[in-house]
């Protein structure tokens, strides 16, 4: 295997990662996509004093719903279905927190 082949494979893998984010548009509304991006940012931000992710209440506020379990878990499932190869959207019931893991 040559260096050129390795570079091509790395570029190809990177393109697939970006393409997986494009699939979000086919399964999420604009509001849901913005919510996903907010969770993604907050899951990697250290500005929240080691409190990564967003609370379920914050996520529901961004989604425009209130204590709608069916919609909330549908959102989690659709995001995980679209980007599950690279990311995992996780709801921690004990902390009542939603985070994204790579």
The residue segments making up the domain with residue 89 are 3-101
Name 85's Cβ contacts closer than 8 Å, sequence gap at least 6. 20
Whole-number percent of the chain with pLDDT over 90: 50
Minimal CA–CA distance to 78: which of 32, 22, 18? Answer: 32
27 token code pair: 């399964």
Q: Provide the number of structural domains found in the chain.
A: 1
> pLDDT, tens digit, for every residue of 30-66?
999 999 999 998 888 665 566 688 999 999 999 999 9
> pLDDT, tens digit, for every residue of 53-62?
899 999 999 9
């Amino acid at each position: 295997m040559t260096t050129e082949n390795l570079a091509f494979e790395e570029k190809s893998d990177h393109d697939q990662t970006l393409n997986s984010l494009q699939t979000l548009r086919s399964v999420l509304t604009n509001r849901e996509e913005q919510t996903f991006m907010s969770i993604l940012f907050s899951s990697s931000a250290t500005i929240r004093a080691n409190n990564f992710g967003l609370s379920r209440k914050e996520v529901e506020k961004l989604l425009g719903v209130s204590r709608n379990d069916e919609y909330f878990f549908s959102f989690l499932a659709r995001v995980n279905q679209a980007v599950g190869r690279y990311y995992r959207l996780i709801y921690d019931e004990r902390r009542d927190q939603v985070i994204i893991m790579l």
